Structures are given as C-alpha cells and as structure tokens.
Amino acid sequence: MLGKQLKYLKSGQKKPPIPGGKSKGHARPPSPAFTHLMVSAPRGDKDTIMADIVSYVKFSLGRTQKDCAVFGIFQATATSIRNRMLDRWNKTQKKYEETRAKTVCYLSLEFLMGRALTNSLYSIGLTGPYGAALKELSFSLEEIQAEESDMALGNGGLGRLAACFIDSLATLSLPAVGYGLRYNFGMFEQTIMEGFQVEKPENWLRRGNPWEIERFKLTYPIRFYGHTSHKTDPTTGRPVFDWEGGEVVNAVAYDTLIPGSCTANVNHLRLWSARASSELSLDAHASGDYLAAVKSKALSENITYVLYPGDQSEEGKRLRLKQEYFFVSASLQDILSKAWSQGIEAKDLPKHFAIQLNDTHPAMAIPELMRLLIDGADIETIGYRGLEWTEAFEIVRKMCFYTNHTVLPEALEEWPVYMFKMMLPRHLQIIYEINHRFLEEVEKKFPGDVDRIRRMSLISEGDQQRIRMANLAIVGSNKVNGVARIHTDILKASLFRDFEEFYGTEKIVNFTNGVTPRRWIAQANPALSEFIYRHLEQLGVVCSQEEWPVQLHHLAKLAELSQSRAALEQLLEVKYVAKTRLAEFIKETCDVDVSPDMLFDTQVKRIHEYKRQLLNILHVIVRFLSIKRIVVEATAEYSKKMDVESARQAAIKELKDANVVPRMCLFAGKAAIGYDRAKRIIKLITSVGELVNHDRDVSDFLKIVFIPNYNVSSAELIFPGSDISEQISTAGMEAAGTGNMKASMNGGLLVATRDGASIEIGDHVGEDNVFFFGASKTEIIEVRKGYQSGTLTEELDPRLIDALDAIDSGMFGCQEYFKPITDTIRSGKDWFCVAHDFAAYLDIQDEVDALYIDRIEWARKMLMNVSKSYHFSSDRTIKEYAEMWDLVPVKLAP
C-alpha cells in the first residue's frame, strides 16, 4: 500500500489513493448490462406493483403478513412509488444536462408540501393500478394515505405557495430545483387544552420519511464566526480576502422528488440538514466529560432542528440568522458546483441559472454569491474565484430575483451589525461595499437628498446599526415582484417608493399568486373534479380527466351552465358531499356534531391581528346573543300557555319557520409562540364555542369549531366544504392570500375586504359573486390618522358594545384574560380597525344569510367562482415568472 501511495505522489497527483484501494468519487467504466437496466422503466401493472410492495415488506422491513401493520404497507407503497419517480427523475436530469437548459433555483425557508402519496400517484397516473394492488393485498389507498404525516416544512401561505410553485414548475416541464431546510421538527404541533393553545414538538420524522433520498456525497462546509484577513494579489493588485477560523458545519442534501402532471418530467426539492464537522471529541470522552464530547455535534445540528426558532432571545436571533445563512450558502455552493462540473464560465452563469428569493429570508444569497465569486469556496469542486467586484456584482444582479410577500415590518428583516460582525465578518465587509457603491449612485441621481440616502441605505443608523435585508435584496436583484396587484402598488407607492423612483418602472413588477388545481380540486374534491370533467365533455371541450387541471382555461366554459337548473342542483350536491366529509372530520377531531345543512363559514389561516379573527368571533357573539334573546323571549311568551320545555321547543320551531339560517363557524390556525394577543384570540374563540355548542336554545342555529394543528391535510377537507370563506384582513395588509383562491376554486363564496388577491378574484368572477365590505386601503389610512392624533370621534356600534359587554361580564369566562382585547377596541386605539368595519361586516353577513336561502341563486354564484378561477392557477403565475427568468420548457418524451 505504501508503494502505491509513493507512486501516486511521484506522478504529481494531488491526493494519494485512499487506503484499501477505494477511489472516492470516480465511476467505473460503463457496463452494457448496467446501462440497460438503468434505462429500463419499472412496470406499472397491478401484479408488478404488488410484488414490489411485498418484496419491500419481506426484505427491507423483515416482516411477514402476520406482523406487518398498516404503516409498514404505507412505507412499502411509498418506496415503490418513489422508485418509479426516480426512474423518471434520472431521465429528466439527463435531458436537462444534454440540452444545457437554464434552471431556476427556488430558494425558500418554507415548503408546506402536504402528504405526498396521493399527489405522487395522481401526477404519475398510477392511482388506479396502486389502488387495485392494495385492494388485492386487503388494504385500501385511503387507509394507507392516512398513515402519512404532513412534511412539517412550513407555517402558512408562504410555504404552501412554494409547494404549489414547484408543482407547477414540474408540470410545465421547466428545469427547476427547490432549495430549503430539512427541519427535524416543524414550527410546533398545536393542541388545545382548556381552550388555550399549547405547543408541542412537531416530530414529523419520528417514523422516518420514505420519500426522501439521502445524498451524503453532496455535503458542503458552512463557516461561522472566525476572522478575515487580506493581502494584495501581486498580479492584479487587487486585495485577496481570507475568511478563516471559527466553526464549520456541514450541510448534507436530502432530495424529495416532485413529479409533474401530464408530463414525464420529475424535478426535485433539495433540503439541507446540518451535521457537525466533528461528530465526537474523543479526548473529552476519554476524560469522562461526555457532555463536552458531543456538545459540538448538538450545537451544529441545532441549526436545522426547528422551523423558525423563537427570536425573542439573543440566542434565538443568532440561531435564526445561522439558519438563513446555512441555507443559502449550501444552496449556492450546490448551484456553483453543478455549474463548474459542466464547464460553465462565470460570465455565463446568468445564462444557465436564475435564483429566486422567496421572501426576504434568503437575502443573504446576495453577499454570499459575491463572496463565492470573489474569494472562492472552501472545496475544490467549486473553482470560481478571483472575479473583479464590478463583474461579480453584475453576475449576481442578473441571476437573482426577489419576491416580497408582505408589508409587515417584522418580516422585512433587519439584523444588528454587531451580530454580522461576530458571526459573518466577511459578509459584513461585502454588504458595506455594496452599500457604499450603491449610495454613490443614489447621490449622483439625487444630489444633496440626504433623507433619501438615509432611507435607501442598506444600513439603518440609530442607537444600534442594523442591516436592512429587504433593501439588500432589492439592490442585489434583477427584478423585485409583488404577489397581487394591490400589494405591488403599495410597494411602488410607499414601502419601496424610493427604489421605484431610483430604478424606474421596470424594476418592481407584479405576479399575482396562484394555487395548483391538481391538489386543490382534483385531489381534494373528487366530486367537483368529476362534475367539471363531465360537464366540460358535454360542452364540447376535448381533454381527458387528467388534462383539464393542466388546461384550466377550459373552466371558463362552465359559465354556460349558469341557466341550467339541473347543473346547478348537481353542483349543490357536490358541495353537500364535501360538507358531509368535513362534518365527519369535525366530529372525529373536535367531537362536535354539525349538520351539512348548516351554512359552513370558515376562516383558516395564521392567527394574526391583521387577519382579524377577532372581527369574526365578535360577529359570532352578536349572532349568539341575538338568537338567545329571541328564544328566551319567545319561550317566556309560550310558557304562559304550556310547560317550559314545550315552550322552548315552540320558540325554536318559530325561529326555524322564520328561515333563520343555521351556521357553523370554523376557525383554524396557529399563533406564533411569542404572540400573546393572537393566543388570547384563540382562547376567546374556544371559550365562545364551549358555551354556544352546549346551549340548547342556540345549538340548532349556531356551532363554533376550532380545528387544532391546521395543516395541508385538514385544509384539503375544509376548503371543499366551505360555503363561505372569510378573507377579512385590514385593507392594505394582506399581500395576496391563497386561501381565497382555494375557496373560490371549490365554489366557496368570499366574504372579503378589498385586500390582497381578493380584489382580483372579484374582477374575474364578478363583484356580485363576492361579498365585499369594509374600508378601503385609503380609508384605513385616514382612520388610523384619527387613532394616532386622538381626534377620532367614531362611536362604537351598539351591537359591538353588547359583544364587548358580554366578554367583560365573564359570560365566556376569563374576563381578565380577555380585557386587553376589549380595552383596545373601547379605547379607540384599534390599529386593525375592527370597530370601524364592524357594522359593515354584520350587514354583509345578513346578505349572506338572505342569499343562502335561495339555493339556486347561491349555486349560480358558486358556479361563477369555479368557472372563473382559472386565472388563479399557479401554472399561470409560473408562466409569468418563467418569462422573467428566460426559462423555456424541456419536456421528456412520454
């Protein structure tokens, strides 16, 4: 062995062979048998699928028929499906490489994927054969799917949008890779105990993940802390920087396959997991200090333990920043490693790769890409280094694109300069240089405008200097986009107005969000899917049941059914089926009996004051008080002639005869761990529900349900079963929303403020098919001026006072706990304008009740929502993005 090593050293090679003769990273010469088997596609017939499943149970799980539980069959089924997708993935990647196709790299801290089994089978067209195979093995597809946990890689709309987008990228045969973090635990598992939100670890990986593929060969070093030094390059005269010392954490890749529909293309989502560069300190272990022996490993791997660590503490802030840098550095190293292996020159990188920053979290990609191009990476597989500043920044600005998702200040992200100086010293130098050069340009265009320069600077001054990550993302990106028309207008007119004036109208653009109809209609609502397909066929549209969700523009034809009573009655039956499924889920989850004959009123989204779940529950209290008063008064009147129980029943019958619309009000969503006010709102909702649901006078007419631990799987039941969907954010604060789109696609009518994408939904489905109410964005600004100046003279609506009095009286318990909520509204410091919009909200709910009685007219509005929802497919959105990215489809032969 020593002779072999000396031979290699004399030959001039950099590294001797690894002892044992194993050569890392070098493939053997191609074998004809190997090649033949690699290109052979696995068969998709029932018998082959059965054999695959049983083989996995027998040889991988080591089980027999007697001791194989349902979860084992799920593992076997998922692995079988994954292997079929892997075959397509390999062919897809080969095609992309052969065509030198430009690839978009979609960087997002969240991917709310939902369950993969049904989606994967639907996309690859094997639902029937797998269903038949499982049936023959005495299992059903439904019970197998129920064994799967949702991938806990996101919190809300941001992550679900990213999931819809990578689905559309694959479906449109666009070369793409999603990049994110493989969190060991999700944000948290929400349970409700005595009406309060309680957070538990969301250990979604506790039973493994059969969908992912470990790529241990794809490991990249990520450095933190340390120090920088520089010297002058004698050849070029430019400074050369070295970032050394500190700690190094390894990023290991895990791939999840993303199949497209009506295409053989399969893309992938690449998630990074943190691994310690030193697994164990043998010295510490030998000395008996066992905690110190594994301390480095624990601290390193903590980076990817939890989605969004709490940032109230200093340590929490550091961990959050570590997450963001770890994620972008690993992703960029992977991109550049691939480019280097393909022989792509640095100047041509923008021709081959586009990098989309999904919100402000990945803004660190700007200075990190600069560092990699100027200083170089720590591994040999990435040879880019030594570029001059101007050339490097031009490449960065051509490659990067930034999506802004919110106007909320806390989401725009600002990091203390001292934290960067300590943790990422080289990046602080780069950001300072970007800022210096940028402000020189601003000064040239607006000489002497000190205030403008201060506002546009990447560094905010004050008691503590902070780095403005949103400003950094704008300056370092090719384009900046909003996600709804109103949101983009706000960016241009206020939040990023200085940048709009500096760069001109070409920099900030709009791409209104969309959602994938494959998951949100075809899979979530099979009865509606069948209705759509059958009626499109009758209307002369030539497309298969698999094709219409990819060609959603055909839905416009359904509007021709608006005068067909038979079709409208069928649509009502479709909704009833979905409501029955939802009612069963509510009974199973919350032990509350609800009738599908009730109007199902849903508000499902992150719990936040601007989303105004408070406005909703206050309206519910008014409804409760009104029904209760009527029943009590009527009972008192009837009891003059009969016993009290008979009188109560007579009073209830009188209400039913008066066509009072029974309503089930459903809430779902998580409050951030540190968001006290949001948690109080959850407790108020559950407390009102506890009283109302057990009140014999009212429960026939009103039920309140709070679904715990809201996720994609529960959303797939809620949106199809929604009669109305509450989209009632304070105008000007919701960037777009996607729940409004999912509801509209499923024939749910929106109760909405003129905010986010609800405005555009109204434009497409017709404003008479949406229940709009409340102050506009401009009016909200004026109302808030009154709050701030103390000149607001608006009196509270008497019905709102009744609701507040009921809360303060202790009717729902916990009056002291709820007092901060009621005091805010009574004091006139109601920043989210609940009181201002309250009367209009109650009026629109009366309109909802009146229309719901006319079932055919209601169905007509449902139909118009379904038929005009084609504009809100994520396929349309991604086509618009692709034009900006200069991305073209590369489709495999079927």
Which residues are designated catalytic? 405, 605-606, 611, 738, 742
CA angle 744, 750, 752 (to 5 degrees): 135
Residue whose structure tokens are 């979290």: 361
Strand partners, 601: 665, 724
* CA distances in angstroms from 204 to 114, 154, 184, 347, 655, listed in the order given: 12, 12, 7, 42, 47
What lies within 8 Å, CB to CB, of 103 at 6+ separation is 96, 175, 176, 177, 352, 353, 354, 887
Q: How far are the Cα atoms of 14, 18, 21, 24, 230 from residue 3, in angstroms, in the given order?
A: 16, 13, 12, 19, 40
Closest to 248 measured CA to CA, from 274, 272, 273 = 274
Task: State how far the alpha carbon of 875 is from the alpha carbons of 165, 170, 516, 880, in Å.
Answer: 8, 10, 7, 9
Distance CA 727, CA 844 (A): 13
Write out the H or E segment, with its range, that includes residue 231: strand 227-232
Q: Where are the alpha helices (DSSP H) in 401-548?
A: 409-412, 417-423, 425-445, 450-456, 469-475, 485-490, 497-503, 517, 526-538
What DSSP state is assigned to residue 512? -
Cα–Cα dist 255/265, whole Å: 16
Helix axes 389-399, 365-374, angle to 10 degrees: 140
496 membership: H or E segment, kind and range:
none
Residue 696 makes CB contacts below 8 A (sequence gap 6+) with 648
DSSP-based three-state secondary structure for 564: coil
Longest dimension (CA), the chain: 113
Query: In 483-616, at which residue ranges do the beta strands (DSSP E only) sit?
Result: 508-510, 599-604
